[in-house]
Amino acid sequence: MPGKTHVQTKINGEDVEFLCEPRQSLLECLRDIVGLTGSKEGCNDGNCGACTVSLDGRIVTSCLVLGVEADGAEVNTIEGVASPDGLHPIQEAFLENAALQCGICTPGFIVATKALLEQEPTPSEHRIRFWLAGNLCRCTGYDKIVRAVMDASERMAAAS
Amino acid sequence: MTTTQEAPKQYKVIGTRPIRHDGADKVTGRAKYGADYQTAGLLYGKILRTPHAHANIRSIDTSKAAAYPGVRAVMTGADLPETKNEDGDRKITLGELGTDLKYLREGIMARSKVVFKGQPVAAVAAVNQHVAEEATKLIEVDYEVLPPVTDVREAMKEAAPLLHDDIETVELNEKTGRISNIAEHFQHRQGDPDKGFAEADVIVEREFDTATVHQGYLEPHNCTVHWNDDGRVLIWNSTQGPFNIRDATAQVLELPLSQVKLTPMEIGGGFGGKFEPYGEPIAAVLSKMSHAPVKIVMTRTEEFESTGPTPGSYIKVKMGAKNDGTLVAATAHLAYEAGGFPGSPVGAAAECVFAPYNIANVQVDGYDVVVNKPKTAAYRAPGATNAEFASETVVDEIAEKLGMDPIEIRLKNASAEGTRRADGTAFGNIGCVEVLEALRDHPHYTAPLEGENRGRGVAIGYWMNAGLQSAVNLAVNNDGTVALTEGSPDIGGTRTSISMQAAEVLGIPAEDFIPSVVDTDSIGWTFGTGGSRTTFATGMAAYKAAQDVKAQMIERAALIWDVDADSLEMEDGVIRSKTDSELKMTFKELAGELNSTGGPIAGRGVVNPTGQGGAFAGLIVDVEVDKETGKIDVLRATIAQDVGKAIHPSYVEGQMQGGTVQGIGWALNEEYYMEDDGRMANSTFLDYRVPLALDLPMIDTVIVEKPSPAHPFGVRGVGEVNIVPPPAALANAAYRAAGIRMNVLPMSPPNVMKTLWEQG
């Protein structure tokens, strides 16, 4: 078995160190080593978006990033979206718009939506659909997800 | 935009839209799905799958894998209990489908022959998944490769390669002694089709081919199994049917049912595909060998290649009508691919194919045919979508020939109470007419549709829905909340739709319920979440359990006040005397008194309902056909569905929208692209490509509520029928857009271009 590599990173604002094999994906490291199982594996080849996390401010499918690439980087996952004050407006909007059924794709959608709304606070429906085209949902038909993102945009505007 | 028809009766909780109970966990990543399960000493299993679609296994040498560092156990099919002759007739129910035990076991791990690429032949448990995967590559299997057959029409030919030497074709309920790939041919007949066609003024007969498609749930199958030291087999997994999987696993392993305990974790979609044991018996054997818990999680490619898709089919439909639009005769030939083992959903297809119509003379012939593809599993109204794609495009063509409006011809012939399906079953209370009227009256139907190569199509779909067994327990907490335990995995908000029904009975808010989906040791036998049954049947169990609690609460109040229980009533969460206005107490106040007035109150509800009635959904869809590329874009879609009664309208709309979009994917793009050697060429999400957010418009919903008499609140079930109309509605829209009658699914760019060249 190959030797392990030391990775020093920041996850959801906290300093985290772990040992991983060079071949292990960031998704695998988050889930099996760090214990953050909110990021989901739907395909392990970058096509479903269920493992979406933010890496140094850019969203990535964490199954296509190696764990060792997180060394010196900042990782933000679904577990860091809510605050001690409560749910993030995006999370509230997903709940109130019933934008999830089974919920397995939801963490990826919320992380991707947060990145979108931080860059573009009032995206059009088409822009939302374009941005979220890398996140698959098989339950909802996307209607309520798109509505939730539009609702979240309004909530965030109202809060700021 | 959502239109909800006025309900005849006003409820306090039902029809409202509370936040789902598991919502916070699911938007924060805290919800634990099967693959998230962790335990000390966990090993990882990996399955070696055959690269051949059809081959005999000469020998398997696992010695190198067993010697590989980090490997704890290696198994082959010989480590599963041997199939005895009598197992051939032991039927196992798997959701809406079933199979024989011997075929189920062979599909889980082959012993001597493989019949689809991806069928398991061996497995390894190791310290991590990478080691396990490396070790599987060291297993040497000597195959005698055989020619495969992956198309239903080819498989039915006499010269076709035979998958099994023991499939004796059953012809109209009689064993024929003939060995073939046709496991069964059955027939339903009403009236005299020949006579009916002789009376017809217009007859349309068409042939259809539909490709194999997959449920495509986002979460791969997973399980962790620990063969405990006391002999019990403990399973944690993501499943639609905890009891179904428990029972099937026990039967495969030749264990008493109670020796297996299944704890359902959260489930990431199923759509019928998570009713079958795949990894569970394998992980159990590996656990027994290694004396440690073993986890198996499938890859996406394993999902496509090795779990049950829904069948490809060859269908011939002939229908005849009088000049006034009356449908007088219909016949269907339905040949469905079962996959490697018998058991396609062709039986259900035959019941559905002409069900929306009252036709006096009908004959349906169904064929269950084995081919070298993975064994099919249920998929949302299994069997119905293929068949009704065919019949609903033929009806559209008849309407066109007669110069009739497509909804008008459907309304003229629509099934109603008393109409018999092809199989002879008479409908009870159904909403076929109401769904068609809702479509006709929706502004979408008459809205202008401008632009070149654009067209509008409609179709209706039928599915039977299921009743079956459910159990619910309620326990009143002393703070006035109620703990609800149930055995139905929650795939789309059913914790809430079930709690809401109990809340309505007790007159307290849905938020005062604490629902839990519990393990198979902790609740009565509950059929899985499928068949559109959970809000219907488990909801009914919750209703009964709440009635039980209500009666006990009234009795307790009577005891406290020393009055006759008959003199008390409970409404809106208040227990009060009918005669003495001084005597009243809220549910919460009484709950606080329970332990000092006789002890706790718990209620139970067990049901096994029938008469759930049929479900109808109809779709209006606008498309644009690109004649240069063959691509079809969906511009607008409106689905109407009779749901009986919408308990939580948001999640009802969600089912309607989700089913519509799965139907759109099936119609326009999804298919198993099979190579000649029996390999699936597109076994990733990139190449299989389910619909994306960018492909779609908003999906408008019209909730039609014709209450079902079989349920206290009129619930009919909502999950499945919405997938049925899209392929036909899109094909009918494509005809009006581009003048082509599509007779193939998917209506993908290559197939549309081919049809344009042939017909254009």
CA–CA distance, B116 with B107 (Å, rounded to integer): 9
Q: List, in order, residues 6 or more apart from B665 with CB less than 8 Å away.
A: B213, B216, B690, B691
Q: Quick one: what percent of chain B has pLDDT higher than 90?
A: 95
| For range B204-218, the mean pLDDT | 98
Question: CB distance from B448 to chain A under 8 Å?
Answer: no
CA–CA distance, B50 with B27 (Å, rounded to integer): 39
Question: CB distance from B683 to chain A under 8 Å?
Answer: no
Question: CB distance from A21 to chain B under 8 Å?
Answer: yes
Quote the pLDDT of residue B5.
45
CA distance B255 to chain A (A): 32
pLDDT per position as a tens digit, B26-47: 999 999 999 999 999 999 999 9
Question: CB distance from B496 to chain A under 8 Å?
Answer: no
Question: CB distance from A132 to chain B under 8 Å?
Answer: yes
Question: CB distance from A39 to chain B under 8 Å?
Answer: yes
Q: How many CB atoms lie within 10 A of CB B127?
A: 17
pLDDT per position as a tens digit, B238-277: 999 999 999 999 999 999 999 999 999 999 999 999 999 9
CA–CA distance, B648 with A95 (Å, rounded to integer): 13
Are the beta carbons of B139 and B62 closer than 8 angstroms? yes
Q: Could B218 and A105 be called an inter-chain contact, meaning their C-beta atoms sit closer than 8 Å?
A: yes
CA–CA distance, B642 with B653 (Å, rounded to integer): 12
One-character DSSP codes across B717-744: --SSGGGSHHHHHHHHHHHHHHS----E
pLDDT per position as a tens digit, A39-82: 999 999 999 999 999 999 999 999 999 999 999 999 999 999 99
Q: Could B685 and A144 be called an inter-chain contact, meaning their C-beta atoms sit closer than 8 Å?
A: no
Alpha-carbon Rg for chain A, nearest whole angstrom, is 16
Of A37, A106, A140, the CB nearest to B654: A140
Whether the link from the prior residue into B746 is cis, omega within 30° of 0, is yes
Question: CB distance from B673 to chain A under 8 Å?
Answer: no
| Nearest residue in B to A23, CA atom | B130
End-to-end alpha-carbon separation of chain B, Å? 36
Are the beta carbons of B68 and B131 closer than 8 angstroms? yes
pLDDT per position as a tens digit, B394-413: 999 999 999 999 999 999 99
CA distance A72 to chain B (A): 24
Evaluate if residue B193 carries a pLDDT over 50. yes
Using CB atoms within 10 Å of the CB of residue B1, give its burial: 0 to 12 exposed, 13 to 18 middle, 19+ buried.
Answer: exposed
Place of tokens 């929706």: B442
Are the beta carbons of A78 and A107 closer than 8 angstroms? yes
Question: CB distance from A82 to chain B under 8 Å?
Answer: yes
Nearest to B732 by CA among B321, B388, B431, B421: B388
Q: Could A96 and B220 be called an inter-chain contact, meaning their C-beta atoms sit closer than 8 Å?
A: no
**For every residue of B136-188, which 3-state class applies, written as one string?**
HCCCEEEEEECCCCCCHHHHCCCCCCCCCCCCEEEECCEEEEEECCEEEEEEE
Question: CB distance from B22 to chain A under 8 Å?
Answer: yes
Quote the pLDDT of residue B453.
98
In one letter, which amino acid is A138? R
Of B29, B70, B219, the CB nearest to A79: B29
Q: Could A142 and B661 be called an inter-chain contact, meaning their C-beta atoms sit closer than 8 Å?
A: yes
Are the beta carbons of B73 and B65 closer than 8 angstroms? no
Q: Could A137 and B217 be called an inter-chain contact, meaning their C-beta atoms sit closer than 8 Å?
A: no
Quote the pLDDT of residue B1.
43
Question: CB distance from A4 to chain B under 8 Å?
Answer: no
pLDDT per position as a tens digit, B565-604: 999 999 999 999 999 999 999 999 999 999 999 999 999 9
Evaluate if residue A2 carries a pLDDT over 80. no
Query: For A108, left (φ over 0), alpha (ψ -120 to 50), or beta?
Result: alpha
Of A133, A139, A146, the CB nearest to B269: A139
User: For strand B97-100 and strand A14-20, is the pairing parallel, antiparallel, or unpaired?
Assistant: unpaired
Q: Could B29 and A138 be called an inter-chain contact, meaning their C-beta atoms sit closer than 8 Å?
A: no
Question: CB distance from B31 to chain A under 8 Å?
Answer: yes
CA–CA distance, B477 with B498 (Å, rounded to integer): 18
Question: CB distance from B703 to chain A under 8 Å?
Answer: no
Are the beta carbons of B744 and B210 closer than 8 angstroms? yes
Of A77, A78, A132, the CB nearest to B693: A132
Structure tokens at B689: 């490509």
Q: In 3-state terms, what secondary structure has residue B661? A: helix
Evaluate if residue B91 carries a pLDDT over 80. no
Q: Quick one: what percent of chain A has pLDDT higher than 90?
A: 97
Rounded (5°) CA angle A143-A149-A150? 90
Quote the pLDDT of residue B93.
67
CA–CA distance, B264 with B275 (Å, rounded to integer): 12
Give CA separation, B570 vs A2, B432, B552, B682, B748, in Å.
Answer: 69, 38, 11, 60, 59
Interface predicted TM-score (ipTM): 0.98
Helix (H) or strand (E) holding B64: helix B63-67
Question: CB distance from A20 to chain B under 8 Å?
Answer: no
Helix (H) or strand (E) holding B245: helix B242-252
Nearest to B259 by CA among B247, B241, B244: B247
| For range B502-525, the mean pLDDT | 98
Nearest to B135 by CA among B43, B34, B52: B43
| For range B439-448, the mean pLDDT | 98
Evaluate if residue B124 carries a pLDDT over 90. yes
Biggest distance spanned by C-alpha atoms of chain B: 86
Q: What is the mean pLDDT of chain B?
A: 96
**Site from B21, B218, B491 to mutate, A interface, most A CB atoms within 10 angstroms:** B218
**For every residue of chain A, which 3-state class applies, written as one string?**
CCCCEEEEEEECCEEEEEEECCCCEHHHHHHHHHCCCCCCCCCCCCCCCCCEEEECCEEEEHHHCEHHHHCCCEEECHHHCCECCECCHHHHHHHHCCCCCCCCCHHHHHHHHHHHHHHCCCCCHHHHHHHHHHCCCCCCCCHHHHHHHHHHHHHHHHHC
Give CA separation, B581 vs B556, B567, B569, B574, in Å.
Answer: 18, 12, 12, 12
Q: Could B686 and A48 be called an inter-chain contact, meaning their C-beta atoms sit closer than 8 Å?
A: no
Residue B10 binned pLDDT confidence (cut-offs 50, 70, 90): confident
Residue B83 binned pLDDT confidence (cut-offs 50, 70, 90): confident
CA–CA distance, B473 with B145 (Å, rounded to integer): 54
CA–CA distance, B377 with B213 (Å, rounded to integer): 11
In one letter, which amino acid is A160? S
Q: Is-above-0.90 flag for pTM? A: yes
Q: Could B658 and A138 be called an inter-chain contact, meaning their C-beta atoms sit closer than 8 Å?
A: yes
Residue B3 binned pLDDT confidence (cut-offs 50, 70, 90): very low
Evaluate if residue B613 carries a pLDDT over 90. no
CA distance B299 to chain A (A): 6
Quote the pLDDT of residue B87.
58
Nearest to B496 by CA among A138, A87, A100: A100
Evaluate if residue B86 carries a pLDDT over 70. no
Are the beta carbons of B619 and B732 closer than 8 angstroms? no
In one letter, which amino acid is A110? I
Q: Could A41 and B19 be called an inter-chain contact, meaning their C-beta atoms sit closer than 8 Å?
A: no
Place of tokens 């409106």: B638
Evaluate if residue B110 carries a pLDDT over 90. yes
Question: CB distance from B636 to chain A under 8 Å?
Answer: no
CA–CA distance, A147 with B156 (Å, rounded to integer): 48
Q: Could A139 and B28 be called an inter-chain contact, meaning their C-beta atoms sit closer than 8 Å?
A: no
CA–CA distance, B733 with A107 (Å, rounded to integer): 36
Q: Quick one: what percent of chain B has pLDDT higher than 70?
A: 97
User: For strand B632-642 and strand B699-704, is the pairing parallel, antiparallel, or unpaired?
Assistant: parallel
| For range B212-219, the mean pLDDT | 98
CA–CA distance, A20 with B661 (Å, rounded to integer): 40
For residue B653, list chain A residues with Cβ-Cβ distance below 8 A.
Answer: 98, 143-144
For residue A87, list chain B residues with Cβ-Cβ distance below 8 A.
Answer: 24, 27-28
pLDDT per position as a tens digit, B715-751: 999 999 999 999 999 999 999 999 999 999 999 999 9
Are the beta carbons of A11 and A39 closer than 8 angstroms? no
Q: List, in order, residues 6 or more apart from B205 with CB less than 8 Å away.
A: B316, B317, B318, B319, B394
Question: CB distance from A59 to chain B under 8 Å?
Answer: no
Evaluate if residue A117 carries a pLDDT over 80. yes
Which of B79-93, B484-498, B701-715 bottoms out in mean pLDDT, i.e. has the lowest?
B79-93
Evaluate if residue A37 carries a pLDDT over 90. yes
Per-residue buried b or exposed e for A98-135, using 16+ beta carbons within 10 Å of the residue's own CB: bbbbbbbbbbbbbbbbbbbbeeeeebeeeebbebbebb
CA distance B32 to chain A (A): 8
For residue A105, list chain B residues with Cβ-Cβ distance below 8 A.
Answer: 218, 268
Quote the pLDDT of residue B9.
63
Question: CB distance from B266 to chain A under 8 Å?
Answer: yes
Nearest to B124 by CA among B53, B68, B55: B68
Residues 90-129 in A contacting B (C-alpha not used; CB under 8 Å): 91, 94-98, 100-107, 110, 125, 128-129
Are the beta carbons of A114 and A58 closer than 8 angstroms? no
Query: For A135, left (φ over 0), alpha (ψ -120 to 50), or beta?
Result: beta
Q: How many inter-chain contacts (A to B, CB under 8 Å) are there? A: 185
Quote the pLDDT of residue B84.
76
